[in-house]
Structure 1
Amino acid sequence: MLDPKAAGGGCLRNLGPHGLDLFLFLTGDDATVTGAQLSASALGQPVEDYASVLLRSTRGILGTIEVGNTFPRAGTDAEWKVAGRDAMVQLRDGTIRLTTGESEEVTAGEPAEPPALTALRDALDCWHRGAPPPAGVQDCLRAVRLIDRAYELAARSRG
């Protein structure tokens, strides 16, 4: 993951597909990368340790994906937030917060197992049943193409 020739990038290549795929899934649209910035200054590695990507869906829905490898202790500083006209859902530190114009609901609790293990179990279950996977090859390709475009835009802005 730290060798750009072997990995093809840093945290954007490694962690970015999850957020980008979720954006594409939730909007149901294709998307365009409208901006991107990368930094490799925090860890001093040859690949980026922070990236932010700005997106616009074909219907004009905007998204921001931020990923990084700079949390100063074990674990993560993960936050997922989806905001729309009528509601916002935020997942952070084991708490899900649903906010609407009328109310706010907070549900605390960690998942029973790491989400990556749940995703792997779901994919293997689909394979055993002969069902399509939750995220197929085309889904992965769409996310990778957005990542490639983000790297191109970030390289241009650096000069």
Structure 2
Amino acid sequence: MKIAIFDVSHWHFPLYIPALSDPGVEVVGISDSEAFAGARFAEQLNCKLFHSNEELLKADFDFALVFSRHSRMAALAERLTDRGIPFLIEKPCGLNLKEVRRIRQLAERRSVYVSVPFINRVSDWASCLSPAEGFTPEGFQHLSFRFIVGLADRYERNGNSWMLDKQQAGGGSLLNVGIHFIDLISALTAAPITQVSAQARTFRHDVSVDEQAILTCQNAAGQIGMIETGYLYPSTAEDQRDFAFSISHTSSYVRAYADQLYVKGRNEQPGRSATVEFNTDEYYPVFLRRSWVDLAEGRAPIAGLREAEHAIAVLEAAYRSAANGGTPQTVEHAL
């Protein structure tokens, strides 16, 4: 498989490199609109660094990875879809709901495979919350997630300062990391989120995206969820984030922090603990490999543009709510 990679300065791109070294995978070229890390990755991958996305689009390739600025994603996705080329595109896939809906509709009309790395879906810890483990979709009563990542200045240090500009990024911590848990709540409960209320704060005067946010939501089945996000953690290479969750289900109560998952059954038996990999970075190459297998075997992606569209619809409703003092907002759903 010949792979083209667009805009490798994205902070997630290095996480995919293990999969790009798999047998049968050839990286034919990369681009770097930010002119930050392209030369280094071209040398590491032993491939050509193209001068622009436009030049790379003219190359011969079978599959693409798209890591562009959120404000540029939809246009590039549209070009790839027009050519019928399957691709993986980082969330949020566009700057707003209108853009994401447009490329989703185009991809469906053209029958183009597009996956979106909502990596929680392939995580070990999420598999512990599956129906096979007794967690039926209808049994969830409350789902609460906290995901606090590094300070906003990390984006400036790694060549992605545009992430702090709402006109380029579309949103901040709630969009960037909260989107994963919006998708996960929908996936675990097998029901779309229908109503949200949110609050958000920005601390730096030169940042126009949220550095802290809290979202509460209700889905079509009446189940309630809560997501707390932030660019607030003094992260280091060995200690990057504060990630915790608690879940009430008719079968069990689950709580997790660090690398420990604790499950307490409703039958009043002693709870059980397990050590689980909560470093979400580990699941990006897993998701990419899963995308390639699904494509080869003619299956739909485990998460794609329709799931991204729903998550963006929830986020837009959340930002409307935050702008109106937390007033509940109805989520716009795809037709």
**Which range, TM-score by smaller chain?**
0.7 to 0.9
1:126-145 superposed matches below 5 A = 126-145=294-313
Give the gaps of 5 or more residues in structure 1. none
The answer to whether 1:106 aligns with 2:106 is no
The CA deviation string for residues 100-157 of structure 1, in whole angstroms up to 9 with x for no partner, is: 1323111114369712332233223322333211112111111110000000010011
Aligned residues: 159
Partners of 1:33 and 1:53 within 8 A in 2: no
CA distance in 2, matches of 1:22, 1:43: 32
Match of residue 224 from structure 2: 62
What secondary structure sits across from 2:235 in the alignment?
coil
Partners of 1:43 and 1:49 within 8 A in 2: no
Are residues 5 and 42 of structure 1, via their aligned partners in 2, closer, same or farther at CA, if it must alter by over 3 Å? Answer: closer
CA distance in 2, matches of 1:60, 1:156: 23
Match of residue 14 from structure 1: 176
What secondary structure sits across from 1:69 in the alignment?
strand
Are residues 16 and 104 of structure 1, via their aligned partners in 2, closer, same or farther at CA, if it must alter by over 3 Å? Answer: same
Q: CA deviation at 1:85?
A: 2.6
Which one-letter code corresponds to 1:85 in the other structure? Answer: T
What secondary structure sits across from 2:242 in the alignment?
coil
Match of residue 91 from structure 1: 256
Are residues 68 and 46 of structure 1, via their aligned partners in 2, closer, same or farther at CA, if it must alter by over 3 Å? Answer: same
> Does 89-98 or 37-46 show the bigger shift?
37-46
Which one-letter code corresponds to 1:60 in the other structure? Answer: G
Q: Which structure has the greater CA radius of gyration?
A: 2
Q: CA deviation at 1:17?
A: 1.5
Which one-letter code corresponds to 1:96 in the other structure? Answer: L
Which one-letter code corresponds to 2:262 in the other structure? Answer: R
- Out of 227, 241, 266, the position equivalent to 1:76 is 241
The answer to whether 1:31 aligns with 2:198 is no
Partners of 2:248 and 2:254 within 8 A in 1: yes
CA distance in 2, matches of 1:43, 1:116: 33
What secondary structure sits across from 2:222 in the alignment?
coil
CA distance in 1, matches of 2:205, 2:248: 32
The CA deviation string for residues 23-78 of structure 1, in whole angstroms up to 9 with x for no partner, is: 11111112223310111127862211111111111121100011111111221111
Give the gaps of 5 or more residues in structure 2. 1-162, 327-335
Structure 2 length normalisation: TM-score?
Answer: 0.44
Which one-letter code corresponds to 1:155 in the other structure? Answer: A
Partners of 1:42 and 1:70 within 8 A in 2: no
CA distance in 2, matches of 1:151, 1:117: 31
CA distance in 2, matches of 1:137, 1:109: 29
* Identity between Structure 1 and Structure 2 (%): 25
What secondary structure sits across from 1:103 in the alignment?
coil
What secondary structure sits across from 2:312 in the alignment?
helix
The CA deviation string for residues 82-114 of structure 1, in whole angstroms up to 9 with x for no partner, is: 221321223321112111132311111436971
